[in-house]
Amino acid sequence: MRRHGVFFLRLAPVGWTTLLGALCCSIVKGLCLWAFGSSRGEKLSDTNASYLRAARAGNLEKALDYLKTGVDINICNQNGLNALHLASKEGHVEVVSELIKRGANVDAATKKGNTALHIASLAGQTEVVKVLVTNKANVNAQSQNGFTPLYMAAQENHLEVVKFLLDNGASQSLATEDGFTPLAVALQQGHDQVVSLLLENDTKGKVRLPALHIAARKDDTKAAALLLQNDHNADVESKSGFTPLHIAAHYGNINVATLLLNRSAAVDFTARNDITPLHVASKRGNANMVKLLLDRGAKIDAKTRDGLTPLHCGARSGHEQVVKMLLDRGAPILSKTKNGLSPLHMATQGDHLNCVQLLIQHNVPVDDVTNDYLTALHVAAHCGHFKVAKVLLDEKANPNAKALNGFTPLHIACKKNRIKVMELLLKHGASIQAVTESGLTPIHVAAFMGHVNIVSQLMHHGASPNTTNVVSNDFLLSSMETHF
C-alpha cells in the first residue's frame, strides 16, 4: 500500500520493530547526507558532518577538535562546499585564517567552480577577502559560467570588496560566458558607486564594450556620460557589430542617442549586414528616433546587404508614422531589394493597409514588379489580404499581370484557396482563361490543389471543367475525381 508517496509493506508483527529501527536510522543518515554530503558522493560520517557544521557556525575550538581526530581538512558536502567555503561565507575570519594555516586549499572549488574568494566576495565579507588574498588566493579565478570574485562583488554592490580586489590585481576585462564584465553588471544593477570606482580603475577601456550598450538600452545618460568621460569612442561595437547608437535606436531612447551623437557617434555606422541606426529605428517604429537621426544627417537611402532601405523596414513592419515621415523627407519610393521587392510589396505582405495607402498617395506605381515579375497584387492574392487587394484594384492594379511563370493573381488566389480575393479579382476583370507557361488555367490549379469551393465558384463564373490547354483534359478530370 502507499501513503503520502511512501510504499509500506505488510509484514508480520515481529518484523515491525526491526523495520522501524532500520528506517529511522536510514532517515537520520539520509538527512546528514542531504545537508553535508561528501567529496566523493559518499555519505559523510557524523564526525565529518559535525566538523563542517562547526566551521559554518564559526566554532573554531570544535572544528580544531575534529581535525585532531583525523578529519580531512578539505572534506566537502554534496555541493562541493568545504569548511573554508562555509566559514568564508559566514565571515568567520579566525576560522578561515586557522584553516589556511593548517593546510586548507585556498583555491579549492565547489561543483560550480566557486572558490572561497568567490563566496566571500559575493557575501561581502571584506575581512575574509583580505585574508584569502593575502594567502595567495587567485583573484581572477573563474567559475563554470565565467564569474570572477570581482564580478560577484560588483553585482552585489560590495564597494569595499571591489576596491580591495582591484588594488590586488583583479581584472575588469574578464567576462562571463554571456559577455558581461564587472562594469556591465554594476551598470545594469544601478550600483553607481561601484560603476565610478571601476571606471576610475579602467586604464585600457576594454570594459566599456558592453557597458555603454547597457546604458543605451536603459536610456541612462548619467552612466553613458561617465563611460564617455575619458573615452572618445562612442562607436564601440558589440560582438555582433552594433554600436550603442543602434541599441538606443532599437529601444527609442532619445536622451542617450542625443548624447552619443553629441559625442560624435557615427549616425550611419553600418553594423552586421550593413544595418544602420536608421534601419533599426524604422523597423521598430520609433518615429522620434527616426526624426532625430534624419535631423542629424542619417542617409535616408542607406541599404542593407539585402537591399533594404529604412522605408522598406518601416513599411514591412506597418509603422505608418515612420513611413509618412520618410516619404515626406524624400525616401526613395522605387528602391528595390536584391529580390526586387519595393516598399509597396513589403507593406502589402504585412497587410498594412494604411502604409499601402500612404505609398499610393505618394504616387507609387501599383504594378511595379519584383525580379520574378510579381506585383503587389500577386502578393495580396498569395496572402489573402482582401482589403489591400481592393485598394490596389481600385487604383487600377492589373488583375491579369503575369509573373515569370505566367501565374496571374487569380492563379495564385486559386492555388492558396483565397476565395474572397478570388471573387474580388473576378469582379475587377481577372480572366478565368488566363494560362500559365505550363498551360494551366485557374480552374486547373484549383482542381489540382483540391479546392472544391474555388472550382465551384470558377464554374459559376463560366469556367469550363472541360478546359484543355497544354495539359490534357485528363489532367483536370483526374484531379477532380481525386478530390471531389
In this prediction, residue 18 carries a pLDDT of 33
Joined grid coordinates for residue 75: 572534506
Angle, alpha carbons 20-25-30 (nearest 5°): 125
In this prediction, residue 203 carries a pLDDT of 58
The answer to whether residues 279 and 308 touch, using CB atoms and an 8 Å cutoff, is yes
CA distance 478 to 340: 38
Looking at domain 1-105, its CATH class is mainly alpha
Instruction: Please return the burial class of 2, using the count of CB atoms within 10 Å of its CB with bins 0-12, 13-18 and 19+.
Output: exposed
Cell 584553516 identifies what position? 99
In this prediction, residue 252 carries a pLDDT of 97
The answer for residues whose C-beta is within 8 angstroms of residue 253's C-beta and 6 or more apart is 216, 217, 218, 219, 247, 289
Q: What is the pLDDT along the chain (484 residues), one digit of tens a residue?
A: 333 333 222 223 333 233 333 333 333 333 333 333 344 334 567 889 999 999 999 999 999 999 999 999 999 999 999 999 999 999 999 999 999 999 999 999 999 999 999 999 999 999 999 999 999 999 999 999 999 999 999 999 999 999 999 999 999 989 999 888 998 899 888 898 998 888 878 755 555 556 889 889 889 898 898 888 866 689 988 877 899 999 999 999 999 999 999 999 999 999 989 999 999 999 999 999 999 999 999 999 999 999 999 999 999 999 999 999 999 999 999 999 999 999 999 999 999 999 999 999 999 999 999 999 999 999 999 999 999 999 999 999 999 999 999 999 999 999 999 999 999 999 999 999 999 999 999 999 999 999 999 999 999 998 887 766 544 444 444 443 443 3
Domain extents in the chain: 1-105, 267-363, 365-484
Instruction: Give the number of C-alpha atoms closer than 13 A to the C-alpha of residue 206, restricted to the C-beta side.
Output: 10
Classify domain 267-363 by CATH number. 1.25.40.20
The answer to whether residues 457 and 465 touch, using CB atoms and an 8 Å cutoff, is no
Joined grid coordinates for residue 251: 529601444
CATH fold of 365-484, please? 1.25.40
Give yes or no on whether 267-363 and 365-484 have one common fold.
yes
CA distance 260 to 177: 28
Q: At what angle do helices 452-460 and 442-449 cross, to 10 degrees?
A: 150
In this prediction, residue 366 carries a pLDDT of 98
In this prediction, residue 267 carries a pLDDT of 98
In this prediction, residue 21 carries a pLDDT of 37
The answer to whether residues 378 and 401 touch, using CB atoms and an 8 Å cutoff, is yes
